[in-house]
Every structure is written in C-alpha cells, then in structure tokens.
Structure 1
Amino acid sequence: MKNGPEDRSFNDIANKFQKNIYGSTKGRLRHELLLHHLAQHTSIAASRLQILDAGGGTGVMAESLLNMQHSLTLTDISQETLDIAADRLGRFDKLSILKSDILSLPQKQYDLVICHAVLEWVEKPKAVLEKLASLVKPHGFLSVSFFNRDAQLFGNMCYGNFDYVEQGMQVKNRVRLTPNNPLKPKDVLTEFAALPLSIKLTAGIRCFHDYLRDLDKQEKYYPQLKSLEIQYGDQEPYLWLGKYFQIIAQKV
C-alpha cells in the first residue's frame, strides 16, 4: 500500500462531514451494512465486549455498539468531531473518549477493534494496520473498511469522468471529503496475510447503490436495495465493486 501525503483531520469541517455522510442514503447504507457484517461475523450479538473504535469520528458506530451494552473507547485526532461525539454519547457510562492518532494509542488490547473509513485518510496505512492488529486480544476481532480505489475508477468511468481518470483521479483542488489515499482491496488483503489474523469476511459496501442511474431509487427502494446489497455484497464479482471494502478478521 502506498503512503498518502498526511493524516487527515476533520477538525475544520466536522459538522459538514456529519451532514454530508450520514444525512444521506450513502451514509445510512454504509453504516447499516458494516453493522450487519459485524453482527454476523464477530461476537457482538452474543457477548459484552471491550471495543476500540479507532478514528470513530462523531460516534455513529459507537452509538450503535453502546446501545448493545458493550464498553467502548472512541478515539480520533479531531477534537471537533470528538466534541460532537461527546454530545451524542453523553448518556452512556461505558464510554471513554481519547484524542489520539492511531499509531500513538496506548498498547491495550480489546475484544473487538474497529477502524472504519480511516485507512484511506492516513499517511502510513500499513503501519496503522499493524498497530490495529496489535491491539486485538487473542481470539478477538478486527474490522476495517476503506474507500476502494478500484471502485472509484470504475465509478468515474461509468459517470463519464474520463479526464479525471486520465489524470490518475488527482486534481489540484481536491474536494475536502474525497479521501487522500484510496486503497486497492487486494493490496490491503496482501498486508493482512502478513498479520496474525484469520480473515472471516471480505465484502463490498455499496456494490450497487452508487451506480444506480435513477438516483431517486436509492431512497424509494431502500429496503429492497439494502437486502440485495447484503445478499451479494460478499460474493464474487460484486464485492470488488463496493465503494467501500470491509475486512473482518480474528486474532489467531
């Protein structure tokens, strides 16, 4: 995996990030699919766990897991996003909040470590992945998701953004919510092979949603669309087309 220019903080646009990502069917579907796969492939539905949400931002996933009575540590490098999370999650007594980059996190181990939509924003994704694996207890679980560079290219070709693709999907004035360092799933899977982890799930997140020609169907037929995303999202060849890619692995 190639390193990006620098770790990205959302300190300057936390509220915009919250609205644009989670105020749409894109964000809702991503969140619900990630949570579905966690329920199917980890022990969150059967046990009370100690969970680390690394780079957890405004606490959307944390809220779902805290509602399931788990104990959770939420970290991020952006104080502004953590302030939003603290307001959202203030009612939970099993929550700890820590401002830190992932590589500087204390060397404590957890039953479940999640790091969703973070790797594509950091300077050293390989080092971050190694750090995350070290924070998982024996027989515990790691879930990562990241922006899929292969799907980014495919989508831009479908949308007719040919000049953008020819420029290597790089522009001088980058949109602030466009990831610094989108990753290829097979490159990340190669890094996983070097870690003491056994992969339990590989799945595309939003394999179909973003490619719909009629955008109204994203909302109008949301339940049917979500069902089909679940049915086909972990199957060849569709998993490689997900705008995000999720990997769940268990510590050996």
Structure 2
Amino acid sequence: MKPDNKPDQSFDTIARKFQNNIYGTSKGQLRQILLEEFVMAHTGTAPLSVLDAGGGGGEMSLPLLQAGHRVHLIDLSAELIELAQQRCGAFEQFSAAQCAIQALDDSQYDLVVCHAVMEWLEDPYSVLEGLLNKVKPGGQISLTFFNQDARLFGNILYGNFDYISKGFNVPNRVRMNPTNAQAPREVLAFLEKHQFSVQHKAGIRCFHDYVRDKRVQTEQFDALLQLERQYAQVEPFMWLGKYFHVIARRLA
C-alpha cells in the first residue's frame, strides 16, 4: 500500500530543469519521436476525447491536438501545467488542470495517455487500475514506463554492482531519476487481467542508452533513430528498451 506520508513525485520548482534534462537531450527527443509515431499510428481519424494523465508540459498533447483530438491534460505540477498551457493553449479543444490522477472524476475517454508516469508513483498499479476505469468500452490506453529489466541490464553493463546489490536504493537519490521501474511482462499481464487487449508493444531506446561511444547518440542520431524504429517491436530487442510502450483496447 502507498504510505500516506509519501506523496507521488511532483516537479514543481524544477519543472524547466526537468524538461530540459529530458527533451533537451537525444534520449528524450528519440523517445518523443517514437511515441508520437506509435500513438498516431494507432489512433483513429475521428476526433477522440483524450486524457493526458501526468502529461507534463504537453509534449504528447500537442500532436494529438494537431490531429484534431480533444485533450484534457492533468499533472501534479503547477509549473508543468503552465508550460502545457503555453505549448497547447492556442487550441480551443485543450484544457488542463493541476490534479492527481487519483482525484479524477468519473469521466471516461476514448483514449487515455499515461507516458513515463508509473515510475514516479508510490503505488503504480493502484493508479493504473483507476486509469483503466477512465477508458470507455472500446477505447484505448497508451502506456509508457521505465523498464525494470532494462534498468538491471544497463547497470550490469555499466558495472554498477554495488547499486544493484542495494536494490537500486541510494541514500542521496537524484530527484530527476525515476524510482519505481516496472517489469513489462507484469504490466502486460495486468492489462489483460483487466479485460484489455494488447494491440501494440514496443521497446523505446533499445540501443541508444547502451552504445559505448556516447557521441553516437548525437552525431549519428538519424541512423540510430532508424535502427530504433526497425527493431522497437522485434524480439528480443524490444524487451531491452529503456522504456516500454503498450497500447491496449478495453474489451468491456
């Protein structure tokens, strides 16, 4: 159970730094490109009602709005809500609110987007179960999360054996490092248990984070992106993506 005295991660006071740390780097840019491509390939052309849960600065809301969908974004951080308003506020079909996912009303949506949120939650499966209830019958959820298996694999490659032996817990944890990675197969099983049919699964950054020469990440970005596209949905590579992406449809 989630401790009452330990709230979920908010990025107030460091919102812009957090955004730059993610989207100002090749890792964030690559993740965003792939997510946009995957989501847009699996959403219909008719205007959908979309909930962008933990939507941050509106990075995923923007392409959905540009495609003609109606988007309601929520986030714990007032600073990120302000950034989202700056990015998306020109669209009449956009709304945003500072709100915890657990505090959402009973409204349901054609599409629920929850990208890179589970790893910041104290009780991610409880929150995910609540989000699944926000999906209309026949609707979809797009879920991305920090991959527990890839975290282990990467830290073995980096030689961080002491960190692994301590269960990935350190006394002075960096606030911008995700703390609650999830195992893809467990998430997939949870979705199927709750009557969701998995339509798409992919690894995000199957290679980017593992290249020995880090200059490749920027100097050969386009070539690396093409390989990520090519192998994101191919076993065994997809299981090693630093993030894992799932799109699932509610059956009932």
Structure 2 length-normalised TM: 0.94
Query: Are 1:14 and 2:15 an aligned pair?
Result: yes
- Aligned to 2:185, the other structure's residue is in SS state helix
Q: Which residue matches 1:221?
A: 220
- Whether the aligned pair in 2 keeps the contact of 1:3 and 1:125 (CA below 8 Å) is no
What amino acid sits opposite 2:74 in the alignment?
A: T
- Whether the aligned pair in 1 keeps the contact of 2:188 and 2:198 (CA below 8 Å) is no
| Aligned residue runs from structure 1 range 25-174, under 5 A | 25-43=26-44, 46-174=45-173
- Whether the aligned pair in 2 keeps the contact of 1:203 and 1:233 (CA below 8 Å) is yes
Residue 42 of structure 1 and its aligned partner are, at CA, apart by: 2.9
- Whether the aligned pair in 1 keeps the contact of 2:197 and 2:250 (CA below 8 Å) is yes
Q: Which residue matches 1:204?
A: 203
- Whether the aligned pair in 2 keeps the contact of 1:149 and 1:182 (CA below 8 Å) is yes
- Whether the aligned pair in 2 keeps the contact of 1:8 and 1:180 (CA below 8 Å) is no
* d(CA) in 1 for partners of 2:163, 2:32: 28
- Whether the aligned pair in 1 keeps the contact of 2:137 and 2:250 (CA below 8 Å) is yes
Residue 180 of structure 1 and its aligned partner are, at CA, apart by: 2.2
- Aligned to 1:203, the other structure's residue is in SS state strand
Which string of whole-angstrom CA distances, capped at 9 and with x for unpartnered residues, describes residues 132-161 of structure 1? Answer: 111111211101100111111111111121
Q: Which residue matches 2:240?
A: 241
Q: Which residue matches 1:188?
A: 187
* d(CA) in 1 for partners of 2:233, 2:42: 12
Residue 245 of structure 1 and its aligned partner are, at CA, apart by: 0.6
Which string of whole-angstrom CA distances, capped at 9 and with x for unpartnered residues, describes residues 156-195 of structure 1? Answer: 1111212111211110100111112111112212211211
Which structure has more RCO (C-alpha within 8 Å, separation ≥ 6)? Answer: 1
* d(CA) in 2 for partners of 1:237, 1:90: 41
Structure 1 length-normalised TM: 0.94
- Whether the aligned pair in 2 keeps the contact of 1:148 and 1:184 (CA below 8 Å) is yes
CA RMSD across the alignment: 1.4
What amino acid sits opposite 1:35 in the alignment?
A: E
Residue 3 of structure 1 and its aligned partner are, at CA, apart by: 5.9
Structure 1, unpaired ranges of 5+: none
Identity value in percent: 48
- Aligned to 1:16, the other structure's residue is in SS state helix
* d(CA) in 1 for partners of 2:171, 2:13: 19
- Aligned to 1:174, the other structure's residue is in SS state coil
What amino acid sits opposite 1:21 in the alignment?
A: I
What amino acid sits opposite 2:238 in the alignment?
A: L
Residue 47 of structure 1 and its aligned partner are, at CA, apart by: 2.0
* d(CA) in 2 for partners of 1:68, 1:36: 12
* d(CA) in 2 for partners of 1:201, 1:134: 20
* d(CA) in 2 for partners of 1:139, 1:223: 36
Moved more, 237-246 or 33-42: 33-42
Equivalent pairs counted in the alignment come to: 249
* d(CA) in 2 for partners of 1:231, 1:132: 30
Structure 2, unpaired ranges of 5+: none
What amino acid sits opposite 1:157 in the alignment?
A: I
